[in-house]
Amino acid sequence: MKDESKIVVAGRHPEKYEGAVNPPVYHASTIVSKTMAEWEDSRRRREAGERGVYYGRVGTPTSFALEDFVTELEGGDHARVFPSGIAAIGTALTAYLNAGDHILVADNVYGPCRRLCERFLARFGVEHSFFDPLDPGSVEGLFRPNTKVLYLEAPGSLTFEMLDIPRLAALGKAKGATVMMDNTWASPLFFKPFAHGVDVSIHAATKYLVGHSDAMLGVVSCTDAAWPPLAECVVDLGQCAGPDDVYLGQRGARTLAVRLERHQQTALALTDFFWSRPEVDCVMYPGHPRDPGHDLWKRDFTGASGLFGITLKPLPEAALRAFVDRLQFFHLGASWGGYESLMLVTHPNDMRSVSKWPYPGPTLRFHAGLEAAEDLILDFEAGFQQMRAAAA
């Protein structure tokens, strides 16, 4: 079955719900048993780690439907939903690490994930090291006997370097580490991490799976071998997502293919535009043929999303502010992945420790929304005009 068809049918069971095409929203905490035998059987299945409706916190048909959707589309064996992307990351890291362990992390990962390693995990005796995303040959020498997790993200957060995921995953496995990856940028549609050696895949489902900027959600999917520690940790930490947010994730996921196709088309048009601008020093988008990571992206990925970045040539602060403030479609915001265009002024070197971002000018991250690309280009042209006026 093609992915476009899986997106429509995965996780749906209308025969169970009077023919309703959308799984119902279960607002449930207490789940009752009518008999002692039924209660004891429920407890047995729960202790055996089997899926079932035992208590609202450990899952209902509402959450199962979204978990099954991600599992089938991404090619994993199991999935769990979380109340946010960082909740998914934090629980996944906690599941596979103990005091005295070591985690090896790409230096360009999502900032809150980096802070989890530096602050939260460090408090509990977990050591961490970061590696240069553009120097894969250096990674092997950074493994230690106690390295238990290799954490990747492709492309990297803010600066969009493309990692060689199969090469790094094979190295991690050879060293006995669990290989984890943040797959939010590509979504389960455009990258299949388990086919490339990853054990645990993480999504800030707030972004493309929800797709409408109206819910917070995270998802972790994994292989059979990686499942037991994650399943246990989810229960121990009491992680669960609200049924209404899970429903919004289900609803958004059904249009994932058509939305991402449009996001990608617009991002390509915008990055073409930025490559032509004399004010721009660097354009960061692996889906563009001029990007240094394009060959890796083309080899491993089936598409690119709407998130990309640029670095401007050095300019006065007033000129940068004039450019940003003039834009009508690209408002400042910390998230992305919704229907609307969005931007953020970023500082890559504030989120690195072993690799240095080489460009001196300001770095901007853009999410290409579902507006007409022509309107977005006109918006940027007006912004550049305002920039030049302020600089003069």
Please state the separation of Cα 175 from the chain's center in Å: 25
Q: Is 272 a catalytic residue?
A: no
Which ranges of 175-255 does DSSP label H, i.e. alpha helix?
Answer: 187-190, 227-237, 243-253
Task: Give the strand order in the sheet containing 102-106.
Answer: 78-82, 218-222, 200-203, 178-182, 147-153, 102-106, 127-131
Taken as a whole, the chain contains a residue count of 392
User: Which of 57, 144, 290, 299 is the catalytic position?
Assistant: 57
Q: Is 339 a catalytic residue?
A: no
User: Which of 68, 164, 182, 291 is the catalytic position?
Assistant: 182
Number of helical (H) and strand (E) elements in the chain, helices listed first = 14, 12
User: Which of 148, 192, 207, 254 is the catalytic position?
Assistant: 207
The amino acid occupying position 78 is H
- 182 SS3 class: strand
User: Which of 12, 96, 107, 110 is the catalytic position?
Assistant: 110
Tokens of 239: 């992680």
Report d(CA 55, CA 30) in Å as an integer.
6
* SS3 assignment for 104-152: EEECCCCHHHHHHHHHHHHHCCCEEEEECCCCHHHCHHHCCCCEEEEEE
Contact 152, 180 (CB under 8 A): yes
If 0-12 CB within 10 Å is exposed, 13-18 middle and 19+ buried, where does residue 273 land? middle
Integer angstrom CA distances of residue 141 from 32, 129, 169 = 54, 11, 15
Contact 140, 124 (CB under 8 A): no
Report d(CA 107, CA 94) in Å as an integer.
20
Tokens of 8: 């429509």
The CA-based angle 63-264-206, given to 5 degrees, is 25
Q: Is 207 a catalytic residue?
A: yes
According to DSSP, residue 78 is labeled E
Which positions are annotated as active-site residues?
Answer: 57, 110, 182, 207
